[in-house]
Amino acid sequence: MMPSVMRKTPPPENSEAELLALEREYCSFGDTVHYLEHPKIFERCEGSFLYDAAGTPFFDLQMWYSACNLGYANPQVNQAVKNQLDKLPQIASQYLHREKIELAAKLAQGIEKRFGEKGRIHFNVGGSQAVEDSLKLVRNFKGGKSLVFAFEGGYHGRTLGASAITSSYRYRRRFGHFDRAHFIPFPYHFRGAPKGMSKEEYGLHCVKSFERLFETEYYGVWDAKAKECEYAAFYIEPIQGTGGYVIPPKNYFTELKKVLDKYGILLVCDEIQMGFYRTGKLFSIEHFGVKPDIIIFGKALTNGLNPLSGVWAREALINPEIFPPGSTHSTFASNPLGTAAGLETLKILESGDYENLVMKKGAYFLEGLKDLQKRFKIIGDVDGLGMALRVEICGADGFTPDKEMTDRIVDEAMKGDIKIAGKNYGLVLDIGGYYKNVITLAPALTIGYEEIDLALNLLAEVFRRAAR
Ligand code: PMP
């Protein structure tokens, strides 16, 4: 007879109501969960979908703010992490491992191929931390100069240094000062251009108003005698992320770069949200034909599987003499699970013709959004570059931002009760924009055309419900 095994009964799982009660008591409200009145608990994810406890699929059109470009639980990236778990899951950051070296080399070589510039990679854990590292690189290279330009509507993270160069005072208000950036208007044509001005004309117009700052010392940034600018760098997101997926005029950055070069200002490109083929390029700045001095990346590098971020800087800013050992450090920077996930993600992106695919699928999705704009008066603007798409919700004049309507759309989407072909769906949407009235769409790059049709049908239904 087999010996009887004492089986422990597993403790009963907390019900959803119990979990929410525990959360209310023990989780800090300082993150963004309680932006929603009724935070939602999800149980499972796959491809473009999150599933709640009842098994209702929620079509995710924001993919963890563009961190999961290759779909949730991507089997290939998951497998790479499982393999790494069995091989070398942990190692202190003063030692080397193969995946870190190969990932850094792949990224630096990819950047060199695209921009013709040799550089190096420094890894960290989250986007904000990589932004902090970039600030060190800038200050170090520019002899301690700590001021930078950044954009109105820009977002670079919530650590102290990153929120100082992020436009919202809301993120800084209670935490003291840390060299706040000088915020420059982004060329947001839909909201900012005078009537009748084309996108290109507006691009030029915006660069001219920035360049005016250098006309005389009395505008506060330029010492004409010393020929020196008080500002070390300009921090940009080529396509604004949290700012509402705002796509600048094609000529804007080439013209801006001429001004930066003229006055000795570094160009730092934050690709944390738009990187890794979100816009059909490895980095979105490639659409605009300029060469940054520093590129910052995170999120989709690991398909959102394990935190990893980093900066690339050109050799002059990051060579071992100018940025020697110990210049910065974090225990979990270049962690092996993250670098293994990153390597696999790059492998998939390189082998999949994403440049083409993303542009095609993005154009198809955008056409669908344009059709919706014709059907629903609440849509003031739609736009997109690759699979970074925007729907701006406005009042009857097609321009006045309608935040309340936008909130209603997101609430309807979260109910999970939209019936399509006899099945209930929900929609996961993210709100961005200067007036919190832009639905920023970042679907999985792996999405199929039928799925895009489904997403458009779901969007149509939430627009219909919210607008009635
Ligand atoms: N920069 C940009 C452009 C971002 O979109 C984000 C995150 N939304 C960050 C920086 C900050 O990254 P993290 O949240 O990983 O700190």
Same domain, 103 and 129: yes
Residue 380: helix, strand or coil by DSSP? strand
Give the C-alpha separation, 274 to 310, whole Å.
Answer: 14
Residues in the chain: 468
> Are the C-beta atoms of residues 284 and 239 closer than 8 Å to each other?
yes
pTM of structure:
0.96
Element (H, E) at 17: helix 16-26
Same domain, 234 and 288: yes
**For residue 4, what are the β-bridge partners?**
none
Same domain, 416 and 347: no
The answer to the question of residue 170 being in a domain is: no
Where residue 94 sits, what CATH number does that domain have?
Answer: 3.40.640.10
Same domain, 294 and 327: yes
Query: What are 403-418's pLDDT values in tens digits?
Result: 999 999 999 999 999 9
Q: What is the distance in A from the centroid of ligand 1 to the CA of 386?
A: 20
Q: What is the distance in A from the centroid of ligand 1 to the CA of 296?
A: 10
Q: Which residues of 337-366 are buried (b: 16+ CB within 10 A; e: fewer)?
A: bbbbbbbbbbebbeeeebeebbbebbeebb
Task: Label residue 11 by pLDDT band (50, 70, 90).
Answer: confident
Same domain, 418 and 340: no
Give the C-alpha separation, 242 to 166, whole Å.
Answer: 10
Give the C-alpha separation, 444 to 70, whole Å.
Answer: 6
**Residue 249 CA to chain centroid, in angstroms?**
20
**Residue 338 CA to chain centroid, in angstroms?**
18
Residue 35: the pLDDT is 86
Q: Is 268 left (phi over 0), alpha (psi -120 to 50) or beta?
A: beta
Give the C-alpha separation, 283 to 297, whole Å.
Answer: 9
Residue 191: helix, strand or coil by DSSP? helix
Ligand 1 — pocket residues by CB below 6 A?
A: 65, 126-128, 131, 155-157, 237, 241-242, 270, 272-273, 298
Nearest ligand 1 atom to the CA of 131 is 10
Query: 278 is in which domain, residue-wise?
Result: 77-146+189-351
Count of domains observed in the chain: 2
The answer to the question of residue 25 being in a domain is: yes
Nearest ligand 1 atom to the CA of 128 is 16
Out of 351, 371, 406, pick the residue that ends a domain: 351
Among the listed residues 63, 68, 64, 52, the one whose alpha carbon sits nearest the alpha carbon of residue 414: 52
Query: What are 360-399's pLDDT values in tens digits?
Result: 999 999 999 999 999 999 999 999 999 999 999 999 999 9
Same domain, 362 and 462: yes
Give the C-alpha separation, 219 to 223, whole Å.
Answer: 10
Same domain, 319 and 423: no
Measured on CA atoms in the order 92, 96, 99, 105, is the torsion positive or negative?
positive
Residue 90: helix, strand or coil by DSSP? coil
Out of 351, 367, 382, pick the residue that ends a domain: 351
Same domain, 379 and 322: no
Reply yes or no on whether the pLDDT at 1 is more than 80. Answer: no
Same domain, 267 and 249: yes
Query: What are 39-55's pLDDT values in tens digits?
Result: 899 999 999 999 999 99
Query: What are 115-169's pLDDT values in tens digits?
Result: 999 999 999 999 999 999 999 999 999 998 999 999 999 999 999 999 999 999 9
